[in-house]
Amino acid sequence: MNLVKFLEENWILVLVAAASGGMLLGPVLRGGGGGASVGTAEAVRLINKEKGVLIDVCEPGEFAAGHAAGARNVPLGSLDNHKSLPTNKALPVVVMCPSGMRAKRAVARLHKAGYANAVALTGGTAAWREASLPIEKAA
């Protein structure tokens, strides 16, 4: 069976395959809708080996209930020019929140502010806990 005949007889399948491929490639081509993300192992490496800064963008009440050890609390609503952000914009900045969704939005904002090495922690605090990494609570 030649290719032209196959395409003529199965045009609907070809159309569906092209549409689904486009939907899968869309977020990749748009930059993931919020910037780069890393898993817990890469986040720990960035913090320990490259002097990365861990920023938690959850609200103060959520932060007090439990956060990654050493994280700085910078709520998403007050992210712009917050005093807890590193002054050296070349440092890696690992951004987290309870699920990872707010962190992705924060990374996009940080990239616009010049923090080229900002990344979101995939899975957020839940992934941090699941990896048995240290969690602190407010006293």
CATH number of the domain to which 44 belongs: 3.40.250.10
Number of DSSP helices (H) and strands (E) in the chain, helices first: 6, 7
Residue 54 has pLDDT above 80, yes or no: yes
In the prediction, which pLDDT does 16 show? 75
SS3 86: coil
Strands (E), 13-133: 37-38, 53-56, 67-68, 72-73, 93-96, 118-121
Based on the domain organization, do 106 and 55 belong to the same domain? Answer: yes
In the prediction, which pLDDT does 28 show? 47
Higher pLDDT, 25 or 13: 13
Residues with catalytic annotation?
97
Based on the domain organization, do 56 and 26 belong to the same domain? Answer: no
Domain count, the chain: 2
Cα distance between residue 56 and residue 81, in whole Å: 15
What domain range includes position 96? 37-136
Question: What does the mean pLDDT of the chain come to?
Answer: 87
Residue 103 has pLDDT above 60, yes or no: yes
Q: How confident is residue 33, by pLDDT bands cut at 50, 70 and 90?
A: very low
Based on the domain organization, do 112 and 44 belong to the same domain? Answer: yes
Based on the domain organization, do 68 and 23 belong to the same domain? Answer: no
Based on the domain organization, do 16 and 79 belong to the same domain? Answer: no
Per the confidence metrics, is the pTM higher than 0.85? no
Based on the domain organization, do 59 and 125 belong to the same domain? Answer: yes
